[in-house]
A and B are shown apart, each in its own frame.
Chain A
Amino acid sequence: MLASWKQLIFQILLLLISCRHINTTSPDPTPPPLVPIDSLPRDVRRAAFKGEGQIEKVELLNPVNLELVCTWTGHQNKESNITGFWRKDGLEIENSHLTVQLENEQYQLQQVFNIVSEENLGNYSCVFESEVKIDFVVAVPQIGEIRDKPVVTYVGDSGVITCKMEDSKPMPNTWKWYKANGTDKEEIFAAAEPQRYEIKNNERKTKLLVNNLTMADSGLYYCGAVYTLSTSMGHVELKVITYYEPLKPFMAIVAEVFILVTAILLFERSRSKKNDTEGDMMSDQTNTLSPGENNGLEGSSSMRQRKT
């Protein structure tokens, strides 16, 4: 009887401790489901040390048990035992120090990580003897094809911003759009303001239509490709300008044309006046075609019209 009470108190204590642990570490309002670790699929990624600054990209969509395997052939004088440990985002993972033995002329370090939520993503490194390091960047697929120049639109016009996930990468579950507000991001809900915003999602592509633009609509817009683990972001800048901007070079060029045309016509008029005062005959011989030849060549069917 006493033993069962002790067991019950012990279990309640354990439950309280684990609940508190969950509350302090997850920033999300809804805590992630406590998925039993064994039921997750296993994904194995291997890397052999080739040189300094080696980075391996690991793209994940769903929660997995990620096993990372590092191999290293070692120095000239191969010791039988060396130490190895793991880092996450530059910080050493506790209790990850291991003694690695030389097998088949190489050292192998492996570890299984539970990648269940966004905080599990990051830069994992395996380190041998504090000198040989291989980085694994564990992330959701990043949006590659995105416009780097700003989209220029006018006040009162409607603007379209598109984001596309490449065909070679896996499709996102859905897309979300955010507008930058200082350093924060505000999500855009098209349903809330249907006249202003319209979001068209098409598996790999998403379009944000903003109608009736104002100067305040300028800024950075973020498109998020939502995967189970996390959302990958891409940003596009929208610039809203008034018609006065292109009007300045337009007026400058029109003024230049007007000045040139007037100058040419005035010059011609003054020259013809000078010629009239000098004599009756039109003295400009700019044309090399003399009138006699002009009349002579008229009406011929196949004669060549040239003079060398």
Chain B
Amino acid sequence: MLAVMYAGGPVSSCLVLRFGSRPVVILGGLMCGVSMVTASFGSSIIYLYICVGIIGGCGLAFNLNASLNIISKYFLVRRPLANGLAMAGSPVFLCILAPVNQYLLDSYGWRGSLLVLGAIMLNCCVAGALMRPVAQPPSSPPEQKVEEQPNNTNSNLKESCLKNISFFDVSFFKDRGFIIYLFGSIMFIFGAYAPFLFLSAYAISQGIDEHSAAYLLSFMGFVDMVVRPGTGLTANSKWIRPRIQYFFSFAVTYNGLCHLLCPLIHSYSFLLFYTFCFAMSFGMVFALIFECLMDLMGPQRFPSAVGMVTIIECFPMLLGPPIAGLLVDITGDYKYLFILCGSVIFTGGVFLFVMNIYNDHMLKKEKNAKDREQNQKNMEDQDHKDIKRTPKAMMEQTEFEVTEDNGAQGDLEIAETPN
């Protein structure tokens, strides 16, 4: 289900670009609901794989992509906070659904539980109904042409989708910032889920009773619930927002460090402290992971970018936990799992940090080069024309042209432009 959810990204982004977020989320909610309800009538594991895995995964993919897209369309000034709040939904539902699920299983068995969970997932349609389409500006002609032809045939839709995908594929990989982000997030996703999955097993192996081990996970959910909007709020502040990529790399490095330090001391209170730090860093990374991509790509390119990122992230997500589990089986000790995951994530974080410094340095250089080119061009133009304007006005004009330019600009300079 997770594999299909992440692999369905490009299809979802294509649909979102064509139809907008609202119909896609409503369709996704319906698919999720239908998948659970049909699964409740099944009698074989293959049937469950198809229902919950494929249909449910597709529904979830549509929901994820379209929801992220609508955040990027609705918000700009308070986008990090919006991202943090949206990502906080995950731990909230984790905490609520755990006891609800237990109650449903005890009252109705697994079939009834799937039926009721399918109904709960239909609430995604309510979320979809709230996603009012953003008003498109009527000035730009190419968009108007698309509006005037609502009766696209299916082949047209497929053609435009494929064209969009293939076009953006190549151009994304030319973007330095995108490549850096992609590598960093691949390394993070590889090591992120394994400690989460093996935490209670590790606690039990350390001699802690099952009840306390289960309590660790709910404690993690609570901390995560608070940290995600908190991180969004912090990232929105005027000191952090220009340096959000560094904040993201710090969060990833902190996560890696937590895992590396976990196997050092064996006591319940230390494990609790580790869970707290893990939950905090996990929440911070997930609150920022899509915000950083939006920051890099912008609302136009974001739908296709997120589709591509999710389909590439599919591989480390599927490989990470089994490799970690294999390591535990071979060595018989959980500490190697934490060392492996911690070192991969820590390396990813450091890579992000260093490469972001390099990227900003290169962006500044490119911007300076372009500024010089512009200045030279203006000077040449000025030589050919009569001197009508004062030099001060000329400087203002070059600044104005530079800010309007689509060329690369440094972060701090954008931050300093007045609201």
B259 beta carbon closer than 8 Å to chain A:
no
Report yes or no: A157 in contact with B111, Cβ–Cβ below 8 A.
yes
Report yes or no: B175 in contact with A249, Cβ–Cβ below 8 A.
no
Interface positions, chain A 191-250, Cβ under 8 Å from B, are 241, 245-247, 249-250
Report yes or no: A308 in contact with B109, Cβ–Cβ below 8 A.
no
Residues on A with beta carbons closer than 8 Å to the beta carbon of B134: 287, 289
Q: Min CB distance, B40 to chain A, in Å?
A: 8
Q: Min CB distance, A215 to chain B, in Å?
A: 15
A286 beta carbon closer than 8 Å to chain B:
yes
Q: Contacting chain B: which of A99-107, A134-142, A147-155?
A: A147-155
Q: Contacting chain B: which of A29-37, A55-63, A65-73, A260-268?
A: A260-268
B378 beta carbon closer than 8 Å to chain A:
no
Q: How far is the CA of A247 from the CA of B125 in the complex (A)?
A: 20
Kindly identify which residue among A246, A294, A299 contacts B299, using a CB–CB cutoff of 8 Å: A294
Kindly identify which residue among A157, A254, A303 contacts B409, using a CB–CB cutoff of 8 Å: A303
| Number of A-B residue pairs having CB atoms within 8 Å of each other in the complex | 146
Query: Assuming the A-B contacts A152-B112, A284-B135, A307-B76, are A298 and B300 also in contact, with contact meaning beta carbons closer than 8 angstroms in the complex?
Result: yes
B119 beta carbon closer than 8 Å to chain A:
yes
Report yes or no: B108 in contact with A291, Cβ–Cβ below 8 A.
no
Q: Min CB distance, A32 to chain B, in Å?
A: 43
Report yes or no: B106 in contact with A149, Cβ–Cβ below 8 A.
yes
B118 beta carbon closer than 8 Å to chain A:
yes
Q: Min CB distance, B143 to chain A, in Å?
A: 10
Q: Min CB distance, B180 to chain A, in Å?
A: 10
How many residues does chain B have at the interface if contact means C-beta atoms less than 8 Å apart?
60
Report yes or no: A253 in contact with B129, Cβ–Cβ below 8 A.
no
Query: Assuming the A-B contacts A261-B125, A302-B175, A304-B411, are A245 and B112 also in contact, with contact meaning beta carbons closer than 8 angstroms in the complex?
Result: yes
Report yes or no: B406 in contact with A299, Cβ–Cβ below 8 A.
yes
B73 beta carbon closer than 8 Å to chain A:
yes
Report yes or no: B123 in contact with A304, Cβ–Cβ below 8 A.
no
Kindly identify which residue among B113, B137, B295 contacts A304, using a CB–CB cutoff of 8 Å: B295
Report yes or no: B135 in contact with A287, Cβ–Cβ below 8 A.
yes
Q: How far is the CA of A261 from the CA of B123 in the complex (A)?
A: 9
Q: Mostly helix, strand, loop or mixed at chain B's interface?
A: helix
Report yes or no: A308 in contact with B415, Cβ–Cβ below 8 A.
yes
Report yes or no: A300 in contact with B298, Cβ–Cβ below 8 A.
yes
Query: Assuming the A-B contacts A268-B132, A304-B409, are A246 and B298 also in contact, with contact meaning beta carbons closer than 8 angstroms in the complex?
Result: no
Residues on A with beta carbons closer than 8 Å to the beta carbon of B109: 151-154, 241
Q: How far is the CA of A152 from the CA of B111 in the complex (A)?
A: 9
Report yes or no: A306 in contact with B295, Cβ–Cβ below 8 A.
yes
Q: How far is the CA of A291 from the CA of B138 in the complex (A)?
A: 9
A279 beta carbon closer than 8 Å to chain B:
no
B174 beta carbon closer than 8 Å to chain A:
yes
Q: How far is the CA of A286 from the CA of B298 in the complex (A)?
A: 18
Report yes or no: B406 in contact with A300, Cβ–Cβ below 8 A.
yes
7 shortest interchain CB distances as A-B pairs: A246-B112, A291-B137, A152-B109, A253-B119, A305-B298, A264-B129, A246-B108
Residues of B within 8 A of A (CB): 26, 37, 73-79, 105-109, 111-113, 115-116, 118-120, 122-123, 125-126, 129-130, 132, 134-135, 137, 139-140, 174-177, 238, 241-242, 244, 294-300, 359, 363, 404, 406-409, 411, 414-415, 419
Residues of A within 8 A of B (CB): 149-154, 157, 241, 245-247, 249-250, 253-254, 257, 260-261, 264-265, 268, 282, 284, 286-289, 291, 293-308
Given contacts A246-B108, A260-B126, A304-B296, 5 further A-B contacts (CB under 8 A): A152-B106, A250-B118, A289-B75, A302-B296, A308-B419
